[in-house]
Chains A and B, each alone.
Chain A
Amino acid sequence: MAFLASFFWGWLLGSLLLGLAMGWISIVQHGEGVSKKWKRWLAALAVVLVAAAASRLIPGRFGYWLDLGLIMFALYLCGCAAGSWLRDWVVSRSAPAA
């Protein structure tokens, strides 16, 4: 992992920034989110994919692409979480003044 991070830090940083932006936007975005049921299915899918990657079931290039995708997705999620939390913090600080 450390090797991959050093090799592709650009793409990983891109995912993280994308996540930050998406998290920042999502706080003030109107409209429907993903339903609970869907979240469960997606979470299950993520678990299956992580398990497949961890057990190194998928060989060759597909295995590498899966690893790459999962790392980028994980950083995206981290970015989203950080972005949402930051935006929420900013919004809640400015709300009493308004």
Chain B
Amino acid sequence: MHGLFRWSGKWWPGVIPLVILWGFAAWTSTVPLEADLAQRSTTALKDTVLDKRRIVVAGRDVTFAAEAFSEEGRLSAVASVEAVPGVRLVNDETRLVPEAKPFVWSAERDVVRVTLGGSSPLPSSKSKLMEAARAMLGGVEVSDRMNLARGAPQRFDAAALLLLDQIAKLKDGKITLSDNKVTLSGMARELGGREAIAAALKNLPEGYSVAANDVKAPPYIFQAYKDPVAVTLTLTGYVPDNNAHAALVAAAGRKFFSEKVVDNLKASVGAPSGFAAAVVPALGALSRLSTGTLVVSDREVKLSGDALYEAAATQIRAGLGKEFPQGWQFKPEISVKPTAAPVDPTVCQQLFTDLLGKARIRFESGKADIVADSAGLLDRLIETALRCPNANIEVVGHTDSDGEEGANQALSEKRAQAVTDYLVKAGLPANRFTSTGLGSTQPIAGNDTDQGKAQNRRIDFVVR
């Protein structure tokens, strides 16, 4: 031992190459060592749920920053890094994920995308919600603005997934979950969507409740377009049910005597009350226009187009709104079709015959009251009469052979007079018209069938 102590005095020259060796070792080993430790630390934390994880190694010291979702998780993460072989010190910069109070999560839908915002309790539930949103919304872009936070109510994932399902039923709007209170606003994608959402919300997990549901139904739209070129009436949009559907199409058939009715209507719930009572007269007004569009949106009726003459435009503008049920609005945009070129009386007669060949002026049974369905036909007769201002016109009434001849004669006269009054009221000079009743004396078809009788009950216009 004494020898060793004595010899050690002469060991110092070797320290010089040792220092050089040490320098080389430090030079070459530091960076690989740090990389190795960083990789081992990361591997050690593989199964630990953390957010914003950052590992920086200097020498053998690891600076470990992360946000943990519980105190136990945080401590065990630090312990895992400390246990990595070769790590000398761990600078613990971990903390807990901030607690959100109240815990708010939201899903917002606009025209182009769905944005998930607010807080989510764990990275796994965040990615689960994103995946579910992408799956439920098809091709819609889903944007992730969710933070992570502690303090989520129990069964948060189930509630949020159910709400995501509802956002798929919205055209636009926002669903907010604040602790366990749900608030909804926006517009349902389809008619009935609002009701479907309300029904689905009954399945929210226990403890959750709806604070406000302001989801609006989309407008209940009914449209009719009268195309004078194709000679069609196209009906689109919704009707309350199949009965109303059939009734509306039948009414359209009566009012539009020359147009083919193209029926693209669909039955759907959610019609405003008084739907049929408003749409039928509105269709009647449309039948009086040469070209026009009728749009019924909830309780607002918009009618635009060209009336055949000025008095008809005034009547439609002023009259239609009065026929609607309480609470309905009428927005007319009626202009007047330019007057057609005048024609001589022979052409006028031809035009009258053509019109009355397509349809007949109809009256209440046994009475001289013109039914509303004939307004379109009468407007066309008036338009024609305006084109031959110099012609005198005889309005001739006919009946079928049912009943007594005297009564038929009187009825035919009254009906011819009613038509003449209608024409005069529309602005035609009274002195151009004479009304005659011929009873059942001039049938144009046999009176032995209902069809023949119907043909015989008619008004003729004869140009004199």
Q: How far is the CB of A23 from chain B (nearest CB, A)?
A: 7
Residue on A nearest B29 in the bound complex, by CB: A8
From known contacts A22-B14, A33-B9, A56-B88, infer whether A63 and B25 are also in contact, taking CB-CB under 8 Å. no
Contacts of B89 in A (CB 8 A): 56, 59, 63
Residue on A nearest B89 in the bound complex, by CB: A56
Residue on B nearest A77 in the bound complex, by CB: B11
From known contacts A60-B58, A64-B30, A64-B60, infer whether A18 and B17 are also in contact, taking CB-CB under 8 Å. yes
Q: How far, in angstroms, from A56 to B62 measured CA to CA in the complex?
A: 13
Interface members, chain A 79-98 (any B CB < 8 Å): 80-81, 84-85, 88
Secondary structure at the A interface, as helix, strand, loop or mixed, is: helix
Interface members, chain B 1-59 (any A CB < 8 Å): 3-4, 6-15, 17-18, 21-22, 24-26, 29-30, 33, 36, 58-59
Contacts of B8 in A (CB 8 A): 33-34, 39, 77, 80-81, 84
From known contacts A72-B22, A73-B18, infer whether A33 and B10 are also in contact, taking CB-CB under 8 Å. yes
Q: Do B3 and A88 have beta carbons less than 8 Å apart?
A: yes
Q: How far, in angstroms, from A69 to B8 measured CA to CA in the complex?
A: 19
Q: Do A34 and B86 have beta carbons less than 8 Å apart?
A: no
> Is residue B85 within 8 Å, beta carbon to beta carbon, of the partner chain?
yes
Q: How far, in angstroms, from A69 to B11 measured CA to CA in the complex?
A: 17
How many contacts A-B (CB < 8 Å)?
112
Secondary structure at the B interface, as helix, strand, loop or mixed, is: helix
Contacts of B3 in A (CB 8 A): 84-85, 88
Q: Do B61 and A59 have beta carbons less than 8 Å apart?
A: yes
Q: How far, in angstroms, from A98 to B54 measured CA to CA in the complex?
A: 70
Q: How far is the CB of A50 from chain B (nearest CB, A)?
A: 15
Contacts of A14 in B (CB 8 A): 21
Q: How far is the CB of B92 from chain A (nearest CB, A)?
A: 14
Q: Do A4 and B86 have beta carbons less than 8 Å apart?
A: yes
What per-residue 1/0 map shows which CB atoms of A17-61 lie under 8 Å from chain B? 011011100110101011100010000000000000000100111
Contacts of B6 in A (CB 8 A): 33
Q: How far, in angstroms, from A39 to B10 measured CA to CA in the complex?
A: 11
Partner of B18, one of A35, A56, A60, A72: A72
Contacts of B85 in A (CB 8 A): 2-3
Q: Do A62 and B59 have beta carbons less than 8 Å apart?
A: yes
- Residue of B7, B17, B33 contacting most chain A CB atoms (<10 Å): B7
Q: How far, in angstroms, from A8 to B85 measured CA to CA in the complex?
A: 14
> Could you list 16 further interchain pairs (A-B, Cβ under 8 angstroms) beyond the known A22-B13, A59-B58?
A2-B85, A4-B86, A7-B29, A18-B21, A22-B11, A33-B9, A35-B9, A56-B89, A63-B60, A63-B88, A64-B26, A64-B30, A65-B30, A81-B4, A81-B8, A88-B7
Give me the interface of A with B, judged by CB distance under 8 Å: 2-4, 7-8, 11, 14-15, 18-19, 21-23, 26-27, 29, 31, 33-35, 39, 56, 59-65, 67-69, 72-73, 76-77, 80-81, 84-85, 88
Give me the interface of B with A, judged by CB distance under 8 Å: 3-4, 6-15, 17-18, 21-22, 24-26, 29-30, 33, 36, 58-61, 85-86, 88-89
What are the 9 tightest A-B residue pairs by CB atom distance, in nearest-first order?
Answer: A33-B9, A64-B59, A22-B14, A60-B58, A26-B10, A3-B86, A11-B25, A61-B59, A3-B85
* 22 CB < 8 A contacts A-B: A2-B85, A3-B85, A7-B36, A8-B25, A18-B18, A21-B14, A23-B7, A23-B11, A29-B10, A35-B9, A39-B8, A59-B58, A59-B61, A63-B89, A64-B33, A65-B22, A65-B59, A68-B22, A72-B25, A77-B8, A80-B11, A81-B4
